[in-house]
Structure 1
Amino acid sequence: MSSATPTAARVKIKRLAIGILVFLAVYTGVWFLAAYQIETRLSAFLAGRSGSARTLECDDMAVRGFPFRIGLFCDSLRLDDRGNAASASFGALRSAAQVYWPGRAVIELDGPAEMRVSPDFGLSAVWSRLQASIDAGFSSLNRSSISADDPSGTLVLGSIGERLAFSAAHGELHLRRNGPDLDAAATLTRFDLKPADGPSLLPPLDSAVDLTVKDRADMLGLGRLRAAALRGASGEVRNLTLDFGNGLVTTASGPFTVSEDGLISGAFKLSMRDVEGWRRTLAAAFPEDEDTIDNTANMLTALAAGAKDASVTLNVRDGTAFLAFIPIGVLPTL
């Protein structure tokens, strides 16, 4: 009896070891087969689109991450949309997803980036770190986020003949499917926008926005996240904050609609701290608009009964913003 027990134990250990080795061999084979299939099929798909209106090139493509991850790697990335006269190029791309959760992936992208939409728009940008993440289900994308550290670059607006330089300490964008609706939140820290050959016009800006767009969850789909997709939509801005430091803070919230022509309408609760400080700062940055700035500041002060801070309702009708019944500005068309 005593001699049979060790023998039985050795047999069990041996079987367990063989089982583990078989599992590892099968797992390794499945991983490399999946990697091979991903790489070859994606290469064939991209090659098949060569010469079409929209192309994507991934130089030195490889699938890596064994044993516990799987991800796509490229030395450089290029996109070309001939139909819209648009193109973009980036540095190396790295992605990774856990084998047991392939729908959740993290993506890193190196600069520099070059984007062009002929003839009106051009963008050159670099950053110290750019990372994105996605969370996808069986049939849809549920979440998407992107963050960048130290982005900076040059923006060329050919239609108005402007060349601008921009920089920021950090920026983030988060999108989430909320039933049929789309939740969006974004932050930007120490953002500076100025003429490419001149000094900054305004102090560095910290901004944040949190909003919901009704019945637009499908904007999370590939290629659908664009301003024109908001046409015909409605939603609510829960919070919009602009902070130039030194107490110059403005917040807004309220419902909005977007017409089929891309014109925004809504009624927003606007709170502005230090109206006189805003007047001085904006007038110094845009002296050609000093009369409009003074008139707007005077109206805010009057509506606030002479107080330093103002809380008013900003009505926007078909893209034009009104304080009381007086128009004070025009919002861009989406």
Structure 2
Amino acid sequence: MPTYSEPVNRRRRFPWWAKLILLVVVLYGAALYVAAHQAKVYLNAVVAPPGTGAEECAKLDFGGLPTRVSAVCQSAKFVDPVTGLDLSTGSVRTTTFVHNPTHASFSIASPVKAKLANGLTTDTNWQSLDSDIGGDLSGITYGTVTIGKIDSAITLPGAPAPLKITSDHADFNVRQNGPDLDIASRSTGSKLETGIIPVNLPGFSTRFEATLDGRGNVLSGAPIVPGEAVQGSIKRLAIDFGNNGTLAVSGPFRVAENGLLSGDFTIDVENYAALQATLSKSFPQAITVIDTATILLKSLSPDGKTGKVTLNVRDGRVQLGIIPLGTIPPL
């Protein structure tokens, strides 16, 4: 008696491993697209600081596959028609990893040259520059730059010689902190030279920490409007001469639309006797002012070594209590 078997399904099934390969290819392609997009976003953010300026990226190239994407400008130029800032750099590179496209590193080849509308120019070189930036798909939320062996020449309009600043090490950090922007920097092994007036300052280090209120979105591309009021707080702005004394400033501040500064600034001096000797030797033309400040600090010093005073600034007018000390021009 004849038997009948079930019809054979001759359609080949897609093997599971082929599906897995296809899925990996699709995911890699998507990640590669996102990484390339972010690399260009980060490159644009590095080449053109937030604002109304126009940037020029010479010969934009992409490379670095398969695990990362690098966007490279052989040179970059940024011109802000509002402020008159003209900035040019060597090659600029941002590298974004496919597995983590919201994180990147960047490098800028020196020299970096800048010219302001008032004629002030800077020319900065360095031996090494390491960096790290990151954020989300909307833009940068933090960044850090570490520079080794940096030297900068600043030429003031009409000055016969440039002001030269060198440092063995410097680093800069910015981070979005909710609606605010945190800024920090420091330098070590710094020296100051100028051909304008004789300066014999010993080597020093610097430290700066501040918060700008309501400026947290600047890193993500929010424009900086010229003439807009800026306020925040200086946590510490210090110049440290080691055994030769330390001078530090802290306090809240506000720069109004007209550029006038207001704030309450606490001046801290450590080892003011040594600092007096250091500044008097370096700036002999200001000995009278330095000696007067030292006498004031000595009268307020609890231990004969440290002193602290608070200066009140209102629309550029500086006072120590009820004693007027002078004015600060618009910033």
Same fold flag (TM > 0.5): yes
Q: Is the 8 A contact 2:39 2:70 kept in 1?
A: no
Larger displacement relative to structure 2 (158-167 or 269-278): 158-167
Q: Describe the SS at the equivalent of 2:55.
A: strand
Q: Describe the SS at the equivalent of 1:201.
A: coil
| 2:127 match | 128
Output the CA distance in 2 between the equivalents of 1:253 and 1:307. 21
Q: 1:36 to 1:99 in 2, by over 3 A?
A: closer
User: Matches of residues 175-324 of structure 1 in structure 2 within 5 Å?
Assistant: 175-196=174-195, 200-222=199-221, 224=223, 231-304=228-301, 307-324=304-321
Higher share of residues assigned helix: 1
User: Matches of residues 45-56 of structure 1 in structure 2 within 5 Å?
Assistant: 54-56=53-55
Q: Describe the SS at the equivalent of 1:281.
A: helix
| 1:50 match | none
2:259 maps to amino acid: G
Output the CA distance in 2 between the equivalents of 1:39 and 1:136. 12
Q: Deviations over 1:111-146 (max 9, x none)?
A: 122222245211111111224433233445322333
Q: Is the 8 A contact 1:213 1:235 kept in 2?
A: yes
Q: Is the 8 A contact 1:143 1:177 kept in 2?
A: yes
| 1:154 match | 153
**Relative contact order (C-alpha < 8 Å, sep 6+): which is higher?**
2
Tell me, yes or no, if structure 1 residue 164 matches structure 2 residue 160. no
Output the CA distance in 1 between the equivalents of 2:97 and 2:327. 47
Q: 1:22 to 1:166 in 2, by over 3 A?
A: same
Q: Describe the SS at the equivalent of 1:293.
A: helix
Q: Is the 8 A contact 2:199 2:283 kept in 1?
A: no
Larger displacement relative to structure 2 (149-158 or 185-194): 185-194
Q: Is the 8 A contact 1:38 1:63 kept in 2?
A: no
Output the CA distance in 1 between the equivalents of 2:300 and 2:40. 66
Q: 1:273 to 1:33 in 2, by over 3 A?
A: closer
Q: 1:71 to 1:286 in 2, by over 3 A?
A: same
Q: Is the 8 A contact 2:35 2:68 kept in 1?
A: no
Q: Is the 8 A contact 2:35 2:96 kept in 1?
A: no
User: How far does residue 219 in structure 1 lie from its aligned partner after superposition?
Assistant: 3.0
User: How far does residue 243 in structure 1 lie from its aligned partner after superposition?
Assistant: 0.5
| 2:7 match | none
Q: Deviations over 1:195-234 (max 9, x none)?
A: 15887531222111222222222333448469x57x5333
| 1:3 match | none
Output the CA distance in 1 between the equivalents of 2:134 and 2:35. 20
Normalised to the residue count of structure 1, the TM-score between the two structures is: 0.78
Larger displacement relative to structure 2 (62-71 or 310-319): 310-319
Q: Is the 8 A contact 1:109 1:131 kept in 2?
A: no
Q: Where in structure 2 are there 5+ consecutive unaligned residues?
A: 1-11, 45-51
2:15 maps to amino acid: R
Tell me, yes or no, if structure 1 residue 22 matches structure 2 residue 4. no
Output the CA distance in 1 between the equivalents of 2:82 and 2:255. 26
User: How far does residue 106 in structure 1 lie from its aligned partner after superposition?
Assistant: 1.3
| 1:61 match | 60
Q: Is the 8 A contact 2:31 2:99 kept in 1?
A: no
Cα-Cα RMSD: 3.6
Q: Deviations over 1:16-52 (max 9, x none)?
A: 54345434554666577778889999xxx9xxxxxxx
Number of residues of Structure 1 aligned to a counterpart in Structure 2: 312
| 2:4 match | none
Q: Deviations over 1:90-109 (max 9, x none)?
A: 11222111224323221111
| 1:142 match | 141
Q: Is the 8 A contact 1:171 1:188 kept in 2?
A: yes
1:319 maps to amino acid: G
Q: Is the 8 A contact 2:210 2:236 kept in 1?
A: yes
Output the CA distance in 1 between the equivalents of 2:326 and 2:171. 28
Larger displacement relative to structure 2 (15-24 or 178-187): 15-24
User: How far does residue 161 in structure 1 lie from its aligned partner after superposition?
Assistant: 5.5
| 1:71 match | 70
